[in-house]
Structure 1
Amino acid sequence: MIRRVVCLRHGQTKWNVEQRFQGHSDIPLDRTGVAQAARAASLLAALKPTAIVSSDLQRAYDTGAALGRLTGLGVQVDKELRERGGGAWEGLTREEIKAGWPAEFEAWEAPGGEVVADVADRVSEAIRRWVARLPDDGLLVVASHGAALRLGIARLLGLPEELWSALGGLGNCSWSVLEEGRRGWRLLEHNAGTLPEPVSSDDRPEAETDR
């Protein structure tokens, strides 16, 4: 029994371009993001997914729905796959955050926002729950968010928290592939689907600027 998960980050939004912290704010895909979702769908449809599940935020749902239209699969919704909550930072640019909260910016801990370990737990648990519904050799596509997916992947792989930054950020409509084996999860691909480029996400700054 080998089951796989494709962790697909949503397409570009206006706030991505402006480098605003999105978090739980429900921001739609922009025109570029819609095109990115269509391109990703055309590639991922060839993998013949068994199921698609999405965050309840429209940028992720619309990304998953592009794949659903090609495969004929419905998109299930799970709010536990939301992006990391940004508290007081949601809607603010990187420069505004750095100017207003210099210490918190360095730690990337938003006042009133979610703790990274909590995000890792909820996202990884949600993925495990949906994977448990797959048949043998099933393939689940999870349409979610950059920081949420990176943290969830790190938890599934059993990495200690001090090594989570070893996983780079996910570009818009890029994906990572995980496989469930007898000894746990392993990472088959990471940030696939595009040539390397800067990542604009709610993730830690160093996860976005490292190439």
Structure 2
Amino acid sequence: MTKIKTTRICLVRHGETTWNAEKRIQGQIDIGLNAAGLAQAQAAAEWLAAEAVAALYSSDLLRARQTAERIAHRMKLLPAFRPEFRERRYGFFEGLTYDESRARYPADYHAFETREPDFVIPFGGESLQQLHARVSRGLRELATGHAGETIIVVTHGGVLDIVNRLARGNPLSAPRDFLIPNAGINWLHVRGQEWTVESWGQTGHLAGFGLDELP
């Protein structure tokens, strides 16, 4: 009988951007890290340096790439950039603050804020169900391909919202009861179809708390 091996996955949210600080919705607009975010990325790299890691993956958006590149340099890894770990597409909310989005598109923002799983944000946005499908597919592929190994994935707040619910078995529509700080470190175990949260939202490596500006 074949023994099922456990994959250990470390998921890191990218460091802070100016738009994070402004509570402005980035989505897939390609914003880079600010000075605080670069320092956070380096701190995460130092914190993870002692881990025996087989591979490093990242969203291909700039803020995630910049975070991953610092981890890669410190750990002597070659990052692989994967579009399935990009942030959610937020449609016509992208570029607006949360308050501006609520004022400009009240009905759509209500559907977004109340987490209607099938609500597709207009003008090129994604629903929570669509985001869940691409993120879970990508993570399952990595878990299968790295059975028995430890890997790192650098990604975004919206993606981590999905991952936490996937691992805990919680519905997409449930209010968020966990933090997603910039440069926060999160650990999962994947063993076959069983997903377990080892730890979530670690910020002990940061000089201050990472922002959690998400609704």
Q: TM-score scaled to structure 1, two decimals? A: 0.87
Mapped partners of 2:85, 2:202: distance in 1: 20
Counterpart in 2 of 1:61? 65
1:178 paired with 2:188, answer yes
Mapped partners of 2:151, 2:100: distance in 1: 38
1:116 paired with 2:120, answer no
Write the deviation string for residues 122-150 of structure 1: whole angstroms up to 9, x where unpaired.
111111112222152x1111100001122
Equivalent residue letter for 1:115: S
Structure 1 segment 1-211 matched on structure 2, within 5 A: 1-108=5-112, 110-112=121-123, 113-136=125-148, 138-163=149-174, 165-181=175-191, 184-194=194-204, 199-201=212-214, 205=215
What is the Cα-based RMSD across aligned positions, in Å?
1.8
SS in 2 for 1:47: coil
Mapped partners of 1:99, 1:183: distance in 2: 42
SS in 1 for 2:145: coil
SS in 1 for 2:15: coil
**What's the offset of the Cα at 1:85?**
0.3
Q: Percent identity?
A: 31
**What's the offset of the Cα at 1:79?**
0.3
Mapped partners of 1:175, 1:198: distance in 2: 13
SS in 2 for 1:46: coil
Mapped partners of 1:167, 1:140: distance in 2: 26
Number of aligned residue pairs: 200
**What's the offset of the Cα at 1:48?**
2.0
Unpaired stretches in structure 1, ≥5 consecutive residues: 206-211
Which one has the bigger helix percentage? 1
1:124·1:156 contact (CA, 8 Å) conserved in 2?
no
Q: TM-score scaled to structure 2, two decimals? A: 0.86
Mapped partners of 2:192, 2:146: distance in 1: 16
Mapped partners of 2:166, 2:111: distance in 1: 20
